[in-house]
Chains A and B, each alone.
Chain A
């Protein structure tokens, strides 16, 4: 290998010409990244992710990695030749598909994903690759990002896809009137001002979006942000046509103008969404002719029954209690994806009695994460550490393992002023399935020895969503996000919309800002360790485990991978027989 020769202080010089050709020099940090990989300071996967994020093409990143540390290029698509045509039938809840900017359910985006598309695409292996943006580059301080858009994309109404569309979309997000959760995600483009009614109001900073030319767009941030490309694949971040919500109503189901290959043939909330291939796709062949989504209601058993009786080819999500059943179906394949999907028993720290940190710590101290994972989820996941950063997150920093300590809990409880025990109530809506109740039930047993009596306030899922950010204590599910900083920024930064804990800790905010602005993986991990520790010590989110997600599909469905967030990416999917 020629690596010794290349190893140099001048980071710009070590890139091979072939690598340059592949676009590897788009970011100043890339050489450093390559260095780190070479000395195994980061893993191959970290490298791939990071390189892709910084604008290296996938091919280039894989090639570089192979060059740097050896190993075969790993194609993701199976060897068999795809057969075009056919209808894929999927069981999934059908919710309204109106404005992608305010999507709050993956299911909504799954229907929309074949109509409107994203600047980037995060693959099932957590790497983010170009999509509508063919490449991008970030400034060294990570405060300005330039995205180069493809010029061969057209909207279904015939309009050309340009930077104006992206600018319109992003500006809509940044407009507080839209009510998009992207305000939290793209915090670097958002400032907090005093609203007309005196309440703090979040809105986009001036000049955040800058159209350079028809196919180039620049984002000016108020602080460093690393995850911009990944954020652009977050499910509410689909790029809509420039007239959306301006020239016509912001309702995708009524005005399905998109860049995707499909058109919305029929749509009825709670019943079905019928997608039909409408045109040649800019990204290449799209094998399926039609995708039919059917809503089988709230009851997960009905989904499985539909799969079992081959009324559908795939279920959007397989509840863990159905795994045994599905294993018995010879024609069905079980797909597992290790994810950062989780649910946190989050306290609302402003509510009594959970404003008492000792009490929170006492409760957290009782938790035996492993038992919860093993019993309530059959061990299909990883234990979590009460700070909402997952080992699969590239910025995860391992802290000393947590151990259940009932004696400590008793002591903390006494210090909290509940010497004789306390009865606490957790709200749970089984929003992700009945295992959540199971977790609570087992946790109840774990709390009991410390003198804490847990009452489970089981409520319908929808009712839980009415109180998810109000209940003093609740068990809230969070979906997978590719970066730890992303999650923490969405959920625990002071004042962000999804801050369900009402956590308001300047120290934490600062630590998080710091981590987000740090490019160096290991540096960042160190900074993340601070954030994690703060969250862990404040015990605002006892978090049992990270769970794998499952999907079941008929074996005739080929070329298909389970995305950790259950995003449907069917461009490689084809049907056999």
Chain B
């Protein structure tokens, strides 16, 4: 695979893309914003290169720069982009246009947004060959049809007459991919192509991309923040930080021996399947990405680096250095001290933590149901009178949680986990069943009727950092208001004191009291959200995807913070997430939900090992793991999530289940089978049979600690 990589490959064939010294800037009223600095990249024919980095590091700008699509306020400031030997910067507009879509194609993050909502898919596909190759309409149609088949779309004919919104997200992305491949481009740029998709859908797309990159001979530039995905698609990766590449090399080399402290830090932030919160706490990178016009002198990563040396790291711009050249595969790093730092040693300093002792049961959810009534608004429904339909958002939810315990609720979009949170918080009332907090049934008490104590004892951390705080009020006011509402303090001075303490707790500076949310970064906002949730000393905190919108390094810090506070206060934490690796890392027990029903429930170890529910199995398989040595069984689910308005009659998972037994799955609700005390699986397949299933993830038998033990 690696035989044709590198700058000057043996057979002398010119690289598809050769970028050197590229500098891209945006011009705003504030002046020039250098988004990308001194960027080099070479992509050979057929090669897939990953570009990884956190948001704001300039990786999408690179893609736009290659396309020469920088908008009216952006442009190439220096360096060259040679595509098939021609400098993109010197081409005329018309020449660039001919290259776009024909020789270089691009795939985007949001497939829905990338497709024109008012044109049929056929029209959008057909215009590519019709314009670039001036083929006839019939020819174009045939090509579009073939290409859709090639990206595994089941009924291309029907799809072509559809409008984008009529097909699911996964199919939309397949359409975008088909569109990109229609003119058989030499280079394909993929900008976070799966980020907007559910995990199980993502798995299918990733598989498709990997397959295409192997078969078609098209070169790929794969842009993502997710190291785990890189591993599945790319030959080589570049790690970007603040507008420049800090480390590049062959995938195995980088994963095995990351040299740059940032790369290393990234790995430290990712929960791995064989780690948990006690044995190996996440190691967040301190600080945050500098803004493009506030980059420090010397190493941009300097202020956040544990190995920073004043006078050395902050003097001159750091050049790329070769770590080693093995075969044609250069591993290069932008660090002065790359060979001085022993990451292993650094790692051993870290502490392991004692597990929290789970106390008495605090929260009991007993056969809770939440049905919504949806008004049917078709004429037929009005005539027949049956205009109200029920949506079973939550069906028979039962579990409990003890003091200090972390229970994770896992599932993809539409699984009902957010509804569950709403019922708990009293924003909705349960249709049936009970939700008892310290023995009091709260399920039927809406939030308006709860006492301040009840309100204080159950608080929530929300998902979207930009939404969690009221943009109009200062941080101090928002936290102070909670303290006042819950009657914890009433004297303004005392309230202020308490606000300060809470800010200390979430490791934010005290002068944040006067800041407005827009002056805070996403991670900081989530910290404030956590401070607010814990302001009233709650017994139970529900965290609804608190880290899903954050960059990995920030997410790690927020996760750790949440863990620490929970540990300190012995709070019961309900952690709602779609990310199994995060869940595995921090949960004591796990509830897997699908279409409003519990599929599997048990301790973390029980859920992560056979017997699996087939859905759990698929979820596990879909989680990208940033460790080349971990082996994973591939299970790609067919089809899409059914609409909660129209769920399958029998087992909710029956439409996509890879282990479907037969019509019984379609027709009858599955029995709940108990495996041990508290491990339950709702499936028609007998437990014994499920026990026979091979584990999805196989961790090589080695020292649990290090995914990255340098051997140089």
Q: Is there a contact between chains A and B in the complex with CB atoms less than 8 Å apart?
A: no
Residues of A within 8 A of B (CB): none
Residues of B within 8 A of A (CB): none
